[in-house]
Amino acid sequence: MRHGRFGAVLLAPSLFGLAVFLLLPILVVIWLSLNRWDLLAPMRFVGLDNYVDVLTDPTFGNSMLRTVIFVLSVIPLQTALGLFLAVLLSRGLPGSGVFRVIYVIPWICAPLALGVVWKWILAPYDGALNNLFGLSVEWLSDPAWAMPAVAGVTIWSQVGYTTLFFLAGLAAIPDTLVEAAQLDGASSWQTFWQVKLPLLGPTMFFVLVTGVISAFQAFDQIYALTPNGGPQGTTDVIASRIYLEAFQGGFNLGRASVMALVLFVILVAVTLVQQRFFSDRITYDLS
């Protein structure tokens, strides 16, 4: 125990932060979910009423549906495009390093600011897209286009980030394995699908888990592009619903807390399911 005191001093600030700003909020959100409260009137304990209320509410059902559509639009495209660009960059042509840097640029910028930039590009009358192609589509206020637009902007801003991980994964595959396959007569197409892709298992796991988790929480760019849930609630994803429920429209803290907890459970489940799915497939440890 000779380090007892020094250790306590080292850990104290971080433990304080962890306890007060991460663990305590979890307890508070559970407590809030069991009460009806708008910050003004006295708090009223209502047991599971908020849960019944939220889980039978069509608005919440719509939000869950919109979130799933958003995640299922963003993740496959973002992953496939990222992998495709990584494969092209991994051919090592001169200048590949410059492209790699360019692709990451959107990722370094505030999603809110990028959302505002795209809000102009997609604006119906004076926006750049309609202007350039002579169109007159209401990208952000037409219920048919709002979700594709929001998903497209998200993919645009994240592909480069995904590319980086696949590049690192591809570079970690030993050349000898690829060469052995090619000496056996495999084409580059076969080598990709049967040698490289299986070996990218751990990278794929990382990219999918972090991608899905962040897509479930997407808020900033959606808030900028289509505030208040979008046209006819078509982009009313869960994070935007929680925000609207808690902070715009009467401080329904109990209901918003239930939604936050539902999201939390979903995210933990997603992580565990993906972990299980990939644990059989990870054949080559990159770490």
Partner 1 sequence: MTSAEPTRVGGRATAVAPGGVPGVRSVGRRRSPAADVATYLVLLAGALLTLGPFALSFMTAFKSPQQFASEPALTLPKPFTLENFSTLFTGSYSFISPIAVTAQMVAVILVGQLVFSIMAAYAFAKLRFRGRDALFWVYLATLMIPQVVIVIPLYVMMVQTGMRNTFWALVLPFMFGSPYAVFLLREHFRSIPDDLIDAARIDGAGDWRILWQIVVPLSRGIVSTLAIITIVSHWNNFMWPLIITTGRDWQVITVATANLQSQYNANWTLVMAATTVAMAPLLVLFGIFQRTIVESISLTGFK
Binding test (CB under 8 A) with partner 1, winner from 176, 249, 276, 283: 176
Binding test (CB under 8 A) with partner 1, winner from 71, 149, 178, 208: 178
Contact status: 93 vs partner 1 (CB under 8 A):
yes
- Say how many CA atoms lie within 13 Å of 237 toward its Cβ: 26
**For partner 1, the closer CB: 33 or 234:** 33
CB contact at 8 A, 245 and 180: no
| Rounded-to-integer distance, Cα 132 and Cα 65, Å | 33
Structure tokens at 58: 């069509």
Binding flags for partner 1, 179-198, as an x/- string (CB under 8 A): x--xx----x----------
For 74-143, the DSSP string reads HHHHHHHHHHHHHHHHTT--TTHHHHHHHHHHHHHS-HHHHHHHHHHHT-TTT-HHHHHHT----TTTSH
Contact status: 51 vs partner 1 (CB under 8 A):
no
CB of 194 to partner 1, least distance (A): 15
Contact status: 75 vs partner 1 (CB under 8 A):
no
Footprint of partner 1 on 20-49 (CB under 8 A): 21-29, 32, 39
CB of 56 to partner 1, least distance (A): 21
| Rounded-to-integer distance, Cα 174 and Cα 172, Å | 6
Contact status: 264 vs partner 1 (CB under 8 A):
yes
Contact status: 96 vs partner 1 (CB under 8 A):
yes
CB of 248 to partner 1, least distance (A): 10
CB contact at 8 A, 53 and 255: yes
Neighbours of 120 (CB within 10 A): 11
Contact status: 114 vs partner 1 (CB under 8 A):
yes
SS3 state of residue 44: strand
Helix (H) or strand (E) holding 36: strand 35-36
Binding test (CB under 8 A) with partner 1, winner from 45, 72, 80, 97: 97
**For partner 1, the closer CB: 86 or 147:** 86
User: CA 25, 30, 33, 34: dihedral to nearest 10 degrees?
Assistant: -130
Contact status: 124 vs partner 1 (CB under 8 A):
no
Binding test (CB under 8 A) with partner 1, winner from 46, 77, 156, 192: 156
Contact status: 126 vs partner 1 (CB under 8 A):
yes
The interface region with partner 1, picked from 63-71, 72-80, 86-94, 140-148 by CB under 8 A, is: 86-94
**For partner 1, the closer CB: 22 or 41:** 22
Contact status: 273 vs partner 1 (CB under 8 A):
no
Helix (H) or strand (E) holding 35: strand 35-36
